[in-house]
Structure 1
Amino acid sequence: MALASQMSRGQRVPSSSVAAYRSKRRARMLKGAGIAALVVLCGTGLLYILHGRDSGPRSANAQPVNDPLKPADAAAGAPAASPAPANSKPPEARPEPALISMNSMRDGARAPTSAQSQPRTDNGLTASPGSGVVRDPLVTNPAASGAPDRMDLPEDLASLVSSAERAQREGKLADARASLNRVLLDRRTPESERGALRRWISDLNETLLFSPTVVAGDPFAQSYTVVGGDSLPVINRKLGLTTEFLLIARLNKLADPSKIQIGQRLKVVNGPFHAVVSKSAYRMDIFAGDPPSPSSIGTSLLACGAEPGWVYIRSFPVGLGAEDGTPIANFVVRPNSKLVNPEWRNPRTGERFAANDPRNPIGERWIGLDGLDEASRGHTGFGIHGTIEPESIGRSMSMGCIRLGDRDVEIVYELLAPRVSVVKVVP
């Protein structure tokens, strides 16, 4: 059902305020450490720890999130690029993906409270709340594995699969993805084969999109060289990117998004990105490509809910509304609706949850949605958010909104853009 209460959040945190947000969380962690030390050390030990502690907890007041299409003066709140020291090279990408996750910028990452059986989607993919992406076991080299040879496809589509194998062997990953994308979105492709195709394309995109490598021929990625006065928000604005600036940190595996150096080369992706939510499969598919016009949406002859020109990127398991509460509709991300660490009021009970309340059911992210076409505009109050109930992923347990696991919602939050990204809910 539509949740009118979710249309208006009293307070908001911009994605650009990560530094303050992290400091606030760090202060709470250090305070907890001091209390523990009191029990163990007593007396002088307590004084020593308190002396070295960070400043006290800051206000949890949230601020509006900047619309990436109308960015505020991002340079004002983000450190500019510093000159590289003499005889030094720009910092290299670090290999620890966890360091660039928003989870690493807070102390409140929530683990499941108990061991739960892993929900399964209708195509047999295991949706692990901790693992994030919906993935079959990866085939590192699909051509060598022989998996495509078992595909039951029309002759022309089988030829495209062979072309993809050949392109991958030759290192032409963008060409391989393009061929496989055509097969995936062709209505003649049996549904039983789409899981393997999604897995294969997702594997290619781990390099094409989600690594620091810029692959020749990829229309969605480019390299940028940092100049004086740059920060990640400034780069986002300068290049007209619709994604969140923290996506640049994620792709380049930056341990500290506020520290970049003049001359450093960064990978950026262009987008825009969109989402198609399959109710029957409890799966969100992410695509890249131009947004459709409201008048043409729903007229596509492509499979998987895709629009013309869209390229499949990857999938995530989702939770949906109880009692068929998530409507089949076409949405667009609402302007100024993206929230980090949001407050929430339960519309059924009136209970309020503060931004830092670990019991807050909607987790750490909120992405508001507006109906895109005439038939969908009556569906108000819906959104995409996190959850503190990982067992609800792959099930119908929400009040109608689309739930994602903690790590998954961070990635989707960084990809989807207000007024641009389309979110389609299909049967």
Structure 2
Amino acid sequence: MKKMQNLLGKIFGIGILPVMFVVCNINTYTNTGGFDAEVFAAQNQETPISLVKKDDDVVIYKNDIIVRSDELKKEFKKEVDKNKPGEKPASQKQEISALDTVNKDLKEGKKYEARNILSDLFINGSMPEKQKEIKDQLDKLNEEIIFSPIPFPDATMYTVQPGDVLVRIAKRFNTNYELIMKVNGKASNRLNIGEQLKILPGKTRILISKRNFTLLLLLNDKYVKQYRIATGKNNKTPVGTFEVKNKMKEPVWYSPDGGVFPYGSKENILGTRWIGFKDKPNIYGYGIHGTTQPETVGTAASNGCIRMLNSDVEELYDFVTPDTEIVIQE
């Protein structure tokens, strides 16, 4: 009864007397809390509230507002359903179910399947309160799935043949020889006939969030790793989709203020790697690079480029291929 009264109060902006469907106390209470009939009559002489009963239904009129009792019942049911204890939205139930599946997969040793579910949850950002926990799990799983020689469904196991060299193998699988070396823990590019190499073929994508100062690396649309970055001061970093123009180790810096500074000079701020973007109309000279100023990572500090820690950009560099898509968002 009290909830129905509160609901009527929300609709009409009034208090409700404890009588079912009787709406008559609009600004009519005296200071002692009682009902003043004279005040009510004076305030409602032109448009009195009337109740018309027909076929067990009630229509309430107040100025231009007409509400049928069956509509009130529907609104009341929505209010009650919304406040039912323990009820969760369908999407939230699905996410909880997904986490249950992850736990089950991990217990059964299905790390690849668990990683894929967690990857989708993280990329969609559907459980913000668990985002860090999901990221930590993903990083742990990818130590084996991505960054180790252990076979997994996404990977190709290649047997070295006579005459093979790493550069040609990498080109055949649209990847980089540096990534093959990293994944397989090789200190040199020397190959042995019959050696098994784990190769990670597929398309890489980079998603950059200016607001969060993060760069997300995907392989075949699955999470690989997330890195902290610096962006352009005064919102100089452009948004949009970009393609890779070039890649350079130990890059020379051509300062926008003039001057050419080789790698290693104290004026060169590019760090150890450069990943350049193809130019667009009025957008040119941008890219992803390392930095000699690691303290700026996590802030808006650059001339518009994306800065990363040198160790992070070196890892990213090994994944980036000519067809890598780079998406920068606010």
Which of 317, 320, 325 in structure 2 is aligned with 1:416?
Answer: 320
Which of 317, 321, 333 in structure 1 is aligned with 2:232?
Answer: 321
1:9-408 alignment runs, 5 A limit: 154-186=92-124, 189-215=126-152, 218-219=153-154, 221-238=155-172, 240-241=173-174, 243-257=175-189, 259-289=190-220, 310-334=221-245, 337-348=246-257, 350-370=258-278, 377-408=281-312
SS at the partner of 2:113? helix
Q: CA deviation at 1:235?
A: 1.0
Q: CA deviation at 1:378?
A: 4.0
SS at the partner of 2:278? strand
Q: Percent of pairs identical after alignment?
A: 29
Q: Which amino acid aligns with 1:370?
A: K
- Rounded to whole Å, the distance in 1 between the matches of 2:293 and 2:262 is 17
Alignment TM-score, normalising by the size of structure 2: 0.69
Q: CA deviation at 1:346?
A: 1.0
SS at the partner of 1:154? helix
Kept after mapping to 2: 8 A contact 1:361/1:388: yes
Kept after mapping to 2: 8 A contact 1:359/1:388: no
- Rounded to whole Å, the distance in 2 between the matches of 1:161 and 1:190 is 10
- Rounded to whole Å, the distance in 2 between the matches of 1:181 and 1:354 is 40
Number of equivalenced pairs: 241
- Rounded to whole Å, the distance in 2 between the matches of 1:253 and 1:358 is 33
Q: CA deviation at 1:273?
A: 1.1
For the structure 1 residues 178 and 377, does the alpha-carbon distance in structure 2 shift closer, same or farther, using more than 3 Å as the test? farther
**Larger relative contact order (Cα-Cα within 8 Å, sequence gap ≥ 6):** 1
Structure (1/2) with the larger strand percentage? 2
Q: Which amino acid aligns with 1:421?
A: T
Kept after mapping to 1: 8 A contact 2:269/2:293: yes
Q: Which amino acid aligns with 2:237?
A: T
Q: CA deviation at 1:345?
A: 1.8
- Rounded to whole Å, the distance in 2 between the matches of 1:182 and 1:355 is 39
Kept after mapping to 2: 8 A contact 1:272/1:416: no
Q: CA deviation at 1:165?
A: 1.1
For the structure 1 residues 319 and 185, does the alpha-carbon distance in structure 2 shift closer, same or farther, using more than 3 Å as the test? closer
Alignment TM-score, normalising by the size of structure 1: 0.54
Q: Which amino acid aligns with 1:366?
A: W
Q: CA deviation at 1:185?
A: 3.5
Q: CA deviation at 1:195?
A: 2.1
SS at the partner of 2:167? helix
Runs of 4+ in 1 over 3 A off after TM superposition: none
Q: Which amino acid aligns with 1:158?
A: I
- For structure 2, the 5+ residue unaligned runs are 1-90
- Rounded to whole Å, the distance in 1 between the matches of 2:325 and 2:235 is 21
Q: CA deviation at 1:358?
A: 4.7
Q: Which amino acid aligns with 2:99?
A: V
